[in-house]
Structure 1
Amino acid sequence: MEIIRAKHMGFCFGVSGAINICNKISEDESNFGKRTYILGMLVHNEHVVKNLEEQGFKIVEESAILEGRDELQEGDIVIIRAHGTSEKIFQILKDKKVEIHDATCVFVTQIRKTLVEMEKKGYDILFIGDKNHPEVKGIVSFGKRVTICNDLEELLSITLDPNKKYCLLTQTTLNKKKLEKIKSYIKENYSNVEILDKVCGATQVRQEAVEELAQIVDLLIVIGGKTSSNTKKLYDIATSYNPNTYLIQDETDLKKEWFQGKEKIGITAGASTPEEIVIKIENQIRGIH
Structure 2
Amino acid sequence: MVKDAWAVGQRGGGPDGDPRRRSRRRRPGADRCGRWRRNSRCPARDSSRPSCAGSEGLGIVLRHALTSGVSRVLIGLGGTATTDGGTGLLAALGAELRDGADDPPPDDPGNLLLRVEAIAPGTFPELGEVELIALTDVDNPLLGDQGAAAVYGPQKGATPGQVTELDGRMAGWADILEATTGLALRDRAGAGAAGGLGAALLALGARVEPGAEVIAREVELSAAIQGADLVITGEGRVEHPLGATGYLFDAVMPIHPHPMSVADAMDAATTAAGLAATAGEVVRLVRAIATR
| TM-score, normalised via structure 1 length | 0.32
Which structure ranks higher in relative contact order (CA pairs < 8 Å, sequence separation ≥ 6)?
1
| TM-score, normalised via structure 2 length | 0.31
Q: Which has the higher helix share?
A: 1
